[in-house]
Amino acid sequence: MRATLSHASAFVVLLAGLASASARVTTVRIDRVEPFANGMSFGDSGAYERVIGIARGELDPADPRNRVIVGIDRAPRNAAGMVEYETDLFILRPVEPAKGNRQLLFDVVNRGNKVVTNALDRTVPADSTNDPSTVVQAGDGFLFRRGYTIAWAGWDPDSPKTNAGMTIRVPALAGVEQEIRDEFVSATRGPAMASFRLSYTAATLDTKAARLTMRARADDPPTPVPADGWRFADARTAVLLPEGTKTAPGVIYELNYRARSPWVSGIGFAAQRDVVAFLKSNGQDAAGAANPAGGQIQAAIGFGVSQSGRFLRDFIKLGFNQDEAGQKVFDGVLSHIAGIGGVFLNELFAQPFRTRTQHQDSTMPENSFPFSSATSRDPVDNREASLLRHDGFDPLLIETNTDAEYWQKGASLLGTDPLGKADLQSPTRLFLISDSQHTGRHGASDAAGPCANLRNAHDPYPAVRALLVALSEWIATGEPAPDSRIPLIADATLVPADQLRFPSLPGFAVAHAPNAIVAERDWVHPTAVESAYRPLVPAVDADGNDRAGLRLPDVAVPLATATGFNLYKAPYPAGEMCDRDGSFLPFARTRAEKAPGDPRQSVVERYGTKEVFVSLVTAEAGRLVSERLLLSEDADHYVAEARSAADIASPP
């Protein structure tokens, strides 16, 4: 069959007759099967191949597992009374399935982008891709050497389709119209905006029926833009007038307008559920056509980073980890840098691309109780709940976060009660990857960009690699993953920001409060709401580095101060937190080279010689390997980098 697939330009696998599963994927069309990485062999796993196509499915709107989808009761139905969808599908699988590890690693796409191979295979940003095909794009081959079958499917109907973006086609509700709000901030998370792309189709192009405002800071009162100061260029685009007027960097523009025909976006949850359930099923259709995952899958792991990690938290909370056949979907989930949030998906006129920070998207829906996998009580409505459902379908769960999520995304509330007064005993695994920030990765730049301080480029992914292996073993053998490593109230490693005692460093901008966590009641017309929740931040040492958490070797034996916060500089709104960026300030090499007023020891004062520095890094790496928090191959990288460090030497 593999030879047949490899030479077919297109075929359709009919799945309605699956005997081993009732997942509601109805057909899979495979358009291409082709070698990956020029057919190179990845150790015992052998060669891999790319499988690219489309999955079609249907949902029973009366099924209790689907009724949670907002708008599905109003969606168009086929002759059988089902609601249909179609999603992009991409698989990297061993050419010989028996050589794989029999685990499906399902990477939930982030705004249509594949993440897991770029993040965990040590590719540098310049080599990252949304269409992995070459040897260079395989990075160090970590996931392939481990034998995972890796799969992706689209879930957001409006995610970008450029650059091989993955999306889904779901029904829209014709005749549905309401006022909504869009927010636009130029040049903070991307290039400067020449126009505003609307999230939905405007019901009218009359600017007098809409309202555009602007403000410099999130807490400033909005200033209306006159109706003759902007126009609709078309039903999905607005521009400032006169023509050619540029948006100001960092300024928050908000547009309230009447929109029409929302997608039933929550179908994205069900589509991911059913695609994974089918790929796990290992079933065949009545004609004997093979499952495109290779027919050897015994377990599935859900992986998500940032937006897609928040997607997985809602996926669990809303009950989608049980498929329509009553089977568990993901055996394990690893959510990275999601904080306590969910994704703005399961609503009419959803905007899942939003990510809430102190300056941007600050009044968009993201945070809703319950936050923690431990049961706690909501001070708003006195309700007790947990992220987990305790219904027999909860996955094994590991959540990893960086300092940025403690400052911007309320991550402390994963491990404390909502009032930040007591530690909780979570049944899952929680990790702060210390002294890291949201977008840090192998090869990242420390350029300041719009921020006041240099950016923190620390790479947290060696810890995530080790924890993925631990999760795989937890599923396969029952050996639990390592215990949680997070700061705690009990030992004063988790504190209110006003008790942080961050050192005074010359020329270094310091944040004074974390982003408030507010349960928004009305995202179209938001009003100031006092936060009922109390996020805390990790306590720091005399250098400004974390005292607790999973401290990788280059954190335990530091050469710099590295944080999870940064602030904007002019012409951006100076003093506001700079998105989810962290800060970085190297130690001086010698005492003589220290800036006036810098209280931190120089490198030579700390370590004396390179030999001492290398021995300390080696010891920390070995300790983490013994604790299953670092892989041996990554420990070797840290030691090699320590040996090659240029500034670790006694002065002449």
Inform me whether the pLDDT recorded for 184 exceeds 80: yes
User: Span 548-561, mean pLDDT?
Assistant: 98
The domain segmentation of the chain, as residue ranges, is: 2-169+268-477, 177-260, 504-512+540-644
3-state secondary structure 71-87: CHHHCCCCCCCCEEEEE
Contact between residue 71 and residue 49 where contact means Cβ atoms under 8 Å apart:
no
Inform me whether the pLDDT recorded for 10 exceeds 50: no
Q: What percent of the chain clears pLDDT 90, i.e. is strictly above it? A: 88
CB burial class (10 A; 0-12, 13-18, 19+) of residue 640?
exposed
- Pairing state between β 25-35 and 196-197: unpaired
User: Span 43-69, mean pLDDT?
Assistant: 96
Inform me whether the pLDDT recorded for 289 exceeds 80: no
357: amino acid identity, one letter = T
Q: How far, CA to CA in Å, does 57 sit from each of 24, 54, 166, 351?
A: 5, 10, 16, 23
78-117: pLDDT as tens digits: 999 999 999 999 999 999 999 999 999 999 999 999 999 9
Rg, Å, the chain Cα set:
25
Inform me whether the pLDDT recorded for 291 exceeds 90: no
Q: What is the pLDDT of residue 128?
A: 86
The token pair at 529 is 């709401």
Contact between residue 276 and residue 301 where contact means Cβ atoms under 8 Å apart:
no
Q: What percent of the chain clears pLDDT 70, i.e. is strictly above it? A: 94
Tell which wins on pLDDT, 149 or 294.
149
What letters, b where the CB count within 10 A reaches 16 and e where it falls short, cover 505-522? beebbbbeebbbbbbbee
Cis peptide, bond prior to residue 487, ω within 30 of zero: no
Inform me whether the pLDDT recorded for 7 exceeds 80: no
361-379: pLDDT as tens digits: 999 999 999 999 999 999 9
Q: What is the largest CA-CA distance in the chain?
A: 84
User: Span 604-628, mean pLDDT?
Assistant: 97
Inform me whether the pLDDT recorded for 14 exceeds 50: no
Residue 183: its H or E element:
strand 177-185
Contact between residue 179 and residue 96 where contact means Cβ atoms under 8 Å apart:
no
pLDDT confidence tier of residue 12, bands split at 50, 70 and 90: very low
Inform me whether the pLDDT recorded for 447 exceeds 50: yes
Inform me whether the pLDDT recorded for 583 exceeds 70: yes
Q: What is the pLDDT of residue 13?
A: 38
Inform me whether the pLDDT recorded for 288 exceeds 80: no
Cis peptide, bond prior to residue 571, ω within 30 of zero: yes
367: amino acid identity, one letter = N
Q: What is the pLDDT of residue 16?
A: 37
pLDDT confidence tier of residue 647, bands split at 50, 70 and 90: low
The token pair at 65 is 């597992």
Please provide the average confidence, as pLDDT, over all residues in the chain.
93
The span from the CA of 295 to the CA of 302, in Å, is 19
Inform me whether the pLDDT recorded for 135 exceeds 70: yes
Inform me whether the pLDDT recorded for 531 exceeds 60: yes
Task: Indicate the range of 228-232, 251-255, 279-283, 467-471 predicted with least confidence.
Answer: 279-283
The token pair at 332 is 């394990």
What letters, b where the CB count within 10 A reaches 16 and e where it falls short, cover 585-598? bebbbeeeebeeeb
Q: What is the pLDDT of residue 340?
A: 98
The token pair at 624 is 């983490």
Q: What is the pLDDT of residue 487?
A: 98
320-357: pLDDT as tens digits: 999 989 999 999 999 999 999 999 999 999 999 999 99
User: DSSP characters for 236-275?
Assistant: TEEEESSTTPPPPBT-EEEEEEEEE--B-TTHHHHHHHHH
pLDDT confidence tier of residue 15, bands split at 50, 70 and 90: very low
Q: What is the pLDDT of residue 19?
A: 33
User: Span 27-56, mean pLDDT?
Assistant: 96
CB burial class (10 A; 0-12, 13-18, 19+) of residue 422?
exposed
Q: What is the pLDDT of residue 520?
A: 77
Architecture of domain 2-169+268-477: 3-Layer(aba) Sandwich (3.40)
Q: What is the pLDDT of residue 284?
A: 55
User: Span 149-174, mean pLDDT?
Assistant: 96
Q: What is the pLDDT of residue 22?
A: 42
The token pair at 463 is 């810890």
pLDDT confidence tier of residue 6, bands split at 50, 70 and 90: very low
Nearest Cα to Cα of residue 322 among 391, 264, 372, 388: 391
φ, ψ (nearest 5 deg) of residue 211: -145, 120
